[in-house]
């Protein structure tokens, strides 16, 4: 097993690109070394509290080092004092290199003429491979006769791409098989090429994008006020931003490359706007896949990390975006409009029946896992055009308010006193945050009458939604939901009916259960 030491400092440019968090940066290197079957043998890293481009003698810093395989840090001192400690540590590291304990170096913004001089000279003498970033320092190391097998500037790199670039170069030098750990790393078991497709999770992207949709709904609600009518233009801008948000999230998730993936997704998303959120999703997924493979290809040909990031983040986003812009956007837009048209057609046939059925089935849907997989994406598709949604109204009335009614019943008329402690937090979250309907599961699953009551109450609320042709949204405080709907009074009535029905039926169920227990 090859033994590697990491040498350097948080530097100037590096500080803003991951260097200010040495633990996270070193951990990323360790993950990649483990994947290549190499061992992180030692660390000598000076981490300052600010960029060293603006350093002065009063800057605080710490020395990070490895002891028994664990990354530790010294107490914070002024930078000159830490530099003295690092100088002494560097001499010990140089002895390790001379004794053959260290097989290779990964350097980042090191000081080859000063603090790290002993280690670099020892590495040059032993001709061990050196990889790293920091244009000036790497040029100096090469001039010292060291065996630099790969070097790059720091601009545009991330912790992950620097680590992958370094370990790729070392693996090629020693002819070791190495599969970069991309995504969530070994912690989640997502690795190498096959992982890029397993990371495609449309539901996860939609859930992560909800804040963007809620922001749009809030702006729409505010624009209805006479003195805020100008916000309607902001609403139009936000609608166009939704595909970009979706694409950025999808590309980051699929590529597993954090900032590089986000840039790729934004580029693709901007070009996918004409395809709506479906186009944004497709563009983001394509960008993530291309980004992953392009950065691996760049590293396999020893591209500098900065160049690899530019190619992967820029070219993959551009290529994916152009594919969507010219070929996929019209189809994606047609699909989105088609789904919305189907919902409108059902409402035109019988809004009361459509609302009642939707309200009746919303609980089985969320319990069975269909809600997040199918209903939520449709809610967001509806909101994409108008900022509100029929199924969003069903969500708030049939799920959130029904759950609130069940919680309230178990606070006022609990089956047993301990139920109050369970129900109170659930009610507060239902009312003030418009989510966590799962809080009612313990009460629903323990009593068939409560379960039936939830479905009946959802159905009643859905009927009212259909009667008033309501559109709204969930995931907002329940007290604000009517204001954000297309009919304040009608939406409030539907919420009261759903919550009231659930409260009455649950209270009755609790009374019946209490009588059985006392008899």
> Under a CB-based contact definition with an 8 Å cutoff, are residues 61 and 45 in contact?
no
The Cα–Cα gap between 378 and 189 comes to 31
What whole-number distance in Å separates Cα of residue 502 and Cα of residue 322? 51
Task: List, for residues 467-492, the tens digit of each pLDDT value.
Answer: 999 999 888 888 899 999 999 999 99
Q: How far apart, in whole angstroms, are the C-alpha atoms of residue 97 and residue 104?
A: 9
Lowest mean pLDDT among 42-56, 87-101, 235-249: 42-56
Contact 379, 392 (CB under 8 A): yes
pLDDT at 190: 33
- C-alpha 51/C-alpha 212 separation (Å) is 33
Q: Please report the pLDDT score of residue 30 as a whole number.
A: 95
Contacts of 234 (CB under 8 A, 6+ apart): 219, 223
User: Which residues, listed in sequence order, are joined to residue 62 by a DSSP beta bridge?
Assistant: 47
304, pLDDT greater than 90: no
Q: Sorting pLDDT into bands at 50, 70 and 90, what band is 519?
A: low
Give residue 51's pLDDT: 86
pLDDT of residue 250: 95
**421-459 b/e (C-beta count within 10 Å ≥ 16 → b):** ebbeebbebbbeebbbbebbbbbbeebeebbebbbbbbb
Q: Which domains does the chain have, with CATH numbers?
A: 3-181 (3.40.50), 196-342 (no CATH), 350-518 (no CATH)
Q: Evaluate whether 205 touches 189 at the Cβ level (below 8 Å).
A: no
C-beta neighbour count of 22 within 10 angstroms: 24
Q: Which residue, among 215, 229, 296, has the nearest Cα to 35 in the 3D structure? A: 296
The two tokens of residue 512 are 């019946």
How much is the pLDDT for 187? 41
pLDDT at 191 over 50: no
Give the rounded percent of residues in the chain with a pLDDT score beyond 70. Answer: 97
User: Which three-class secondary structure state does DSSP give residue 461?
Assistant: helix
According to the model, what pLDDT value does residue 185 have?
45
Read out DSSP for 52-69?
GGG--TT-EEEEEEEETT
Do you know the residue count of the chain? 519
Please name the residues in contact with 133: beta carbons below 8 A apart, sequence gap of 6 or more: 14, 107, 108, 109, 151, 152, 153, 154, 157, 162, 305
Give the global pTM: 0.74
- The whole-number pLDDT of residue 189 equals 35
Q: Which residues pair with 63 in a beta bridge?
A: 46
Which tens digit of pLDDT belongs to each residue from 372-401?
777 888 888 888 878 889 999 999 999 999
How high is the mean pLDDT of the chain?
90
Name 345's Cβ contacts closer than 8 Å, sequence gap at least 6. Answer: none
Q: What is the mean pLDDT of residues 424-430?
A: 93
pLDDT at 183: 62
């Amino acid at each position: 097993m090859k033994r590697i030491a990491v040498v350097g400092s948080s530097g100037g440019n590096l500080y803003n690109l991951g260097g200010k968090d040495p633990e996270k940066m070193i951990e990323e290197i360790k993950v990649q070394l483990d994947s290549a079957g190499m061992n992180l043998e030692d660390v000598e890293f000076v981490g300052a509290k600010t960029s060293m481009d603006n350093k002065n003698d009063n800057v605080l810093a710490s020395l990070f080092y490895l002891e028994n395989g664990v990354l530790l840090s010294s107490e914070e001192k002024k930078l000159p004092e830490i530099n003295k400690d690092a100088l002494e540590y560097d001499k010990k590291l140089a002895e390790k290199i001379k004794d053959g304990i260290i097989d290779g170096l990964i350097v980042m913004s090191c000081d080859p003429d000063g603090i790290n001089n002993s280690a670099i000279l020892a590495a040059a003498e032993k001709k061990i491979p050196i990889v790293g970033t920091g244009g000036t320092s790497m040029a100096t190391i090469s001039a010292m006769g060291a065996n630099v097998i790969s070097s790059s500037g720091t601009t545009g790199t991330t912790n992950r791409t620097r680590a992958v670039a370094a370990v790729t170069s070392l693996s090629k030098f020693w002819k070791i098989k190495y599969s970069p750990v991309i995504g969530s790393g070994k912690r989640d078991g997502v690795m190498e090429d096959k992982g890029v497709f397993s990371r495609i999770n449309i539901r996860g992207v939609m859930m992560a994008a909800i804040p963007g949709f809620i922001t749009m709904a809030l702006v729409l609600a505010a624009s209805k006020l006479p003195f805020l009518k100008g916000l309607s233009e902001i609403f139009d801008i936000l609608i166009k931003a939704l595909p970009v948000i979706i694409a950025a999230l999808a590309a980051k998730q699929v590529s597993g490359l954090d900032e590089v993936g986000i840039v790729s997704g934004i580029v693709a998303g901007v070009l996918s706007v004409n395809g709506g959120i479906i186009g944004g999703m497709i563009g983001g997924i394509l960008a993530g896949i291309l980004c992953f493979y392009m950065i691996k290809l760049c590293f396999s040909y020893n591209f500098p990390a900065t160049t690899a990031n530019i190619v992967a983040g820029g070219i993959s986003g551009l290529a994916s975006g152009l594919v969507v812009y010219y070929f996929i956007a019209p189809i994606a837009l047609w699909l989105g409009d088609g789904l919305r048209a189907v919902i409108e057609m059902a409402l035109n046939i019988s809004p009361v029946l459509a609302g009642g059925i939707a309200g009746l089935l919303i609980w089985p849907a969320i319990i069975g896992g269909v809600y997040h997989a199918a209903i939520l994406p449709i809610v967001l598709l509806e909101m994409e055009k108008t900022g509100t949604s029929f199924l969003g109204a069903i969500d708030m009335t049939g799920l959130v308010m029904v759950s609130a009614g069940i919680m309230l019943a178990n606070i006022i008329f609990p089956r047993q006193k301990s139920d109050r402690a369970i129900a109170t937090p659930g009610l507060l979250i239902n009312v003030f945050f418009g989510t966590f309907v799962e809080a009612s599961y313990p009460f629903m699953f323990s009593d068939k009458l409560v379960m039936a009551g939830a479905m009946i109450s959802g159905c009643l609320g859905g009927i009212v939604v259909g009667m008033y042709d309501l559109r709204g949204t969930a995931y907002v405080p329940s007290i604000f939901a009517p204001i954000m709907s297309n009919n304040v009074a009608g939406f409030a009535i539907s919420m009261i009916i759903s919550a009231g029905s659930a409260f009455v039926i649950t209270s009755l169920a609790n009374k019946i259960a209490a009588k059985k227990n006392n008899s």
